[in-house]
């Protein structure tokens, strides 16, 4: 089966072409353009600007994908229908609708979060169910129990900021550019993760929820107390220590809660995904803690090229939606910014 996938929910425009044969995946095309540099000047993503960029890039990208103009060879089209920024989502959704309608091909609406989860499905070994998913991105921090393909139960979520959002906000406080995650993890490599004992929010709350906004406030307080009264810039060493200690607090919280959720759910696999899964220290700590505490549970994290938004993950999720017979009508599909998984 050959699937064409389109993603435009935030600040990445992406088109992928995948071939699936008996569970074996071949990525034929993986095209991606990031607008990160453009949004960096605003310190975050501006929806209207993102949409305009998607419009400019998506058609040339479709052409560059080399697909036949009559859709020959394509069996199904998948598109991210939500959640995300409405003006941005609509660009991909409308293109997918037109193609599906003109070519008379089945259309599948993929949830962006489901896409992140399926980013680990490209390899030879696939997760076994039930699988616990720790989804950490710029907009979401969730623990989801996946009982089977397409069957999700939300176990826990953030009550305020998402993990990626916390990285972005703390980076801003430290004077580092957007997006903050990669910057913080780079700075953290030179710092001492035990230099400052930042709070580990909701560690013993008895549920599987997270909260990161208090941690951000603690970082802000630490910065103001570290800054000399004359108001200057933080020394590089201090930036590195704050970054490393903040990152450690986030990782400790994510890892501890995830282990508790594994024990609670009896999950057979653990899937780490979303933009923050690019964080090497998080990947390493989560995998090594899992292998110590639950050696029978297998660990999955996306290839580093698939941690951020991309269309390959939308295709991977789309394959399963299509196999389950879940196609949508191209004439009525509407982008849904609040689309839910469970």
Residues engaged in binding Zn ion (CB under 5 A): 137, 309
Which are the contacts of 118, defined by CB distance < 8 A and separation ≥ 6? Answer: 313, 316, 317, 320
Which tokens hold the place of 133?
A: 């998913």
Note the residues at the interface with ligand KG4 (CB under 6 A).
10, 137-139, 164-165, 167-168, 179-182, 185, 274-276, 278-279, 308-309
Which are the contacts of 228, defined by CB distance < 8 A and separation ≥ 6? Answer: none
Q: Where are the beta strands (DSSP E) in the chain?
A: 2-7, 12-21, 24-34, 76-82, 107-111, 131-136, 141-148, 151-157, 269-273, 298-300
CB nearer to Zn ion: pick between 8 and 29: 8
Nearest to 133 by CA among 8, 270, 231, 6: 270
| Cβ proximity of 249 and 194 under 8 Å | no
Min dist. Cβ of residue 69 to ligand KG4 (A): 31
CB nearer to ligand KG4: pick between 105 and 169: 169
CB nearer to ligand KG4: pick between 127 and 275: 275
CB nearer to ligand KG4: pick between 15 and 74: 15
CB nearer to ligand KG4: pick between 99 and 113: 113
CA distance 213 to 48: 27
Min dist. Cβ of residue 327 to Zn ion (A): 23
Min dist. Cβ of residue 318 to ligand KG4 (A): 17
The option from Zn ion, ligand KG4, none interacting with 201 (CB < 5 to 8 A, set by class) reads: none
Q: What is the maximal distance between C-alpha atoms in the chain?
A: 68
CB nearer to ligand KG4: pick between 181 and 318: 181
The option from ligand KG4, Zn ion, none interacting with 173 (CB < 5 to 8 A, set by class) reads: none
Min dist. Cβ of residue 279 to ligand KG4 (A): 3
The option from Zn ion, ligand KG4, none interacting with 139 (CB < 5 to 8 A, set by class) reads: ligand KG4
CA distance 41 to 80: 26
CB nearer to ligand KG4: pick between 67 and 81: 81
The option from ligand KG4, Zn ion, none interacting with 278 (CB < 5 to 8 A, set by class) reads: ligand KG4
The option from ligand KG4, Zn ion, none interacting with 167 (CB < 5 to 8 A, set by class) reads: ligand KG4
Nearest to 15 by CA among 3, 30, 1: 30
CB nearer to ligand KG4: pick between 9 and 298: 9
Nearest to 336 by CA among 97, 48, 77, 83: 83
The option from ligand KG4, Zn ion, none interacting with 187 (CB < 5 to 8 A, set by class) reads: none
The option from Zn ion, ligand KG4, none interacting with 193 (CB < 5 to 8 A, set by class) reads: none
Min dist. Cβ of residue 115 to Zn ion (A): 7
In residues, how long is the chain? 342
Min dist. Cβ of residue 254 to ligand KG4 (A): 11
The option from Zn ion, ligand KG4, none interacting with 182 (CB < 5 to 8 A, set by class) reads: ligand KG4
Min dist. Cβ of residue 186 to ligand KG4 (A): 8
DSSP per residue over 143-205, as a string? EEEEEETTEEEEEEEBSSS-HHHHHHHHHHHTTPPSSHHHHHHHHHTTS-TTSS----TTTTS
* Distances, alpha carbon 206 to alpha carbons 210, 252, 261, 324, in Å: 11, 16, 11, 36
Min dist. Cβ of residue 189 to ligand KG4 (A): 11
Give bridge partners of residue 135 from the DSSP assignment. 142, 273
């Amino acid at each position: 089966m050959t699937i064409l996938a389109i993603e435009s929910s935030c600040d990445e425009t992406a088109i992928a072409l995948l071939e699936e044969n008996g569970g074996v995946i071949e990525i034929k095309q993986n095209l991606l353009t990031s607008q990160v540099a453009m949004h960096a000047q605003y310190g975050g993503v501006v929806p209207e600007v993102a949409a305009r960029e998607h419009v400019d890039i998506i058609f040339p990208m479709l052409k560059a994908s080399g697909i036949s103009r009559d859709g020959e060879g394509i069996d199904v089209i998948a598109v991210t229908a939500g959640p995300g920024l409405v003006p941005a989502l609509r660009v991909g959704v409308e293109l997918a609708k037109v193609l599906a309608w003109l070519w008379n091909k089945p259309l599948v609406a993929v949830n962006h979060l489901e896409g992140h989860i399926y980013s680990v499905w490209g390899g030879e070994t696939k997760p076994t169910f039930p699988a616990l998913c720790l989804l950490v991105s710029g907009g979401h921090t969730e623990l989801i129990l996946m009982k089977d393909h397409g069957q999700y139960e939300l176990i826990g979520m953030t009550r305020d900021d998402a993990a990626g959002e916390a990285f972005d906000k703390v980076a801003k406080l430290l004077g580092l550019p957007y997006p903050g995650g990669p910057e913080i993890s780079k700075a953290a490599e030179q710092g001492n993760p035990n230099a400052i004992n930042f709070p580990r929010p909701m560690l013993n709350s008895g549920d599987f929820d997270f909260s990161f906004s208090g941690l951000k406030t603690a970082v802000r307080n630490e910065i103001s107390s570290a800054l000399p009264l004359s108001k200057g810039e933080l020394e590089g060493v201090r930036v590195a220590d704050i970054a490393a200690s903040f990152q450690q607090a986030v990782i400790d919280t994510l890892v501890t809660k995830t282990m508790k959720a594994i024990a609670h759910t009896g999950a057979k696999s653990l899937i780490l995904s979303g933009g923050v899964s690019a964080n090497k220290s998080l990947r390493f700590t989560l995998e090594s803690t899992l292998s110590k505490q639950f050696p029978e549970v297998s660990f999955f994290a996306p290839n580093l090229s698939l941690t951020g938004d991309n269309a390959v993950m939308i295709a991977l999720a789309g394959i399963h939606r299509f196999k389950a017979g879940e196609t949508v009508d191209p004439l009525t599909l509407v982008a849904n910014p609040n689309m839910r998984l469970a």
